[in-house]
Structure 1
């Protein structure tokens, strides 16, 4: 399903590719076989620059994607990713779009979080112990926050896990 969504979005984003190539990735829990996941597919679009994305919200509308900044600008991870680890004093701008079936994170290709999401996915795929620990934590957070009106507290609570593996993500 992630690949079908990416193939559906690629032509919509084609007019935005003024500053170079894009990178498309299936990230998040649905990208890790066997890992419990929310019913949304996380996708990542890596772009050379966020400065050349005029019209991106309109471009993705035909696929049912909404610019989350227009409805939940204060939620974590909507307009920026807080840098971590060796780059803890930095901040990385981003764009976030959502449809009924997917979340699309648009990040600059040289941003730490663009790299982190791929490294984290690959770590979970290759390390069964880490995958089990992450799943256990996620299930505990679902039990604690499953009735919340949004995913904000769930998202923020996962930070503890990322803190614990930050050295591996930076390596």
Structure 2
């Protein structure tokens, strides 16, 4: 929704305050959706201690039925978030300052497991954490007109890291 936006991408060294900001928004979301059966988790690079990141807190919220927007969307908009993405199986709301992104999926959606897989592996594997950070730093030497293009450019590295994470789980 809203089309391509101008963006400035820069990485910040890991900031311990990111965990606290997540907890603040977790409470805000939990309060807004008190009547809904939801799960909330901190995902993305700001959820990985020691990893440089764009200072955007990514949160995933799972709901019982993603198509039943009346169960969650109006409450999140009232809580101060703005709708940015509405696509099959996924909604994204964010703060007006664009510093918190809340991804909404239906419970059981494989995308949520993929977020967890990457996050948990990067938390425990210093070598892959370094590979991922080097990749992000290298990509930021290129100007990007759209966040999606930047995200797409990281895909091959992310897929390779997730494959190593899966192999490690199988051991």
Deviation, structure 1 residue 168:
4.2
Residue equivalent to 1:79: 87
2:90 aligned residue? 94
Which residue in the other structure is 1:163 paired with?
Answer: 159
Gaps of 5+ in 1: 70-77, 81-92
Go from structure 1 to structure 2 and tell me whether the alpha carbon gap of 1:49 and 1:57 turns closer, same or farther (over 3 Å shift): closer
SS in structure 2 at match of 1:139: helix
CA distance in 2, matches of 1:50, 1:166: 26
**How many Å apart are 1:98 and its aligned residue?**
1.2
Residues 1-171 of structure 1 mapped to structure 2, 5 A cutoff = 1-15=21-35, 17=36, 21-54=37-70, 56-69=72-85, 79=87, 93-99=89-95, 100=97, 101-145=99-143, 148-168=144-164, 170=166
TM-score by length of 1: 0.76
Q: Number of matched residues?
A: 145
Match of 2:55, SS? coil
Q: CA deviation at 1:163?
A: 2.3
Gapped regions of structure 2 (runs ≥ 5): 1-20
Distance 1:41 1:126 in 2: 20
Structure 1 residue matching 2:60: 3-state secondary structure: strand
Q: Tell me the TM-score normalized by structure 2.
A: 0.76
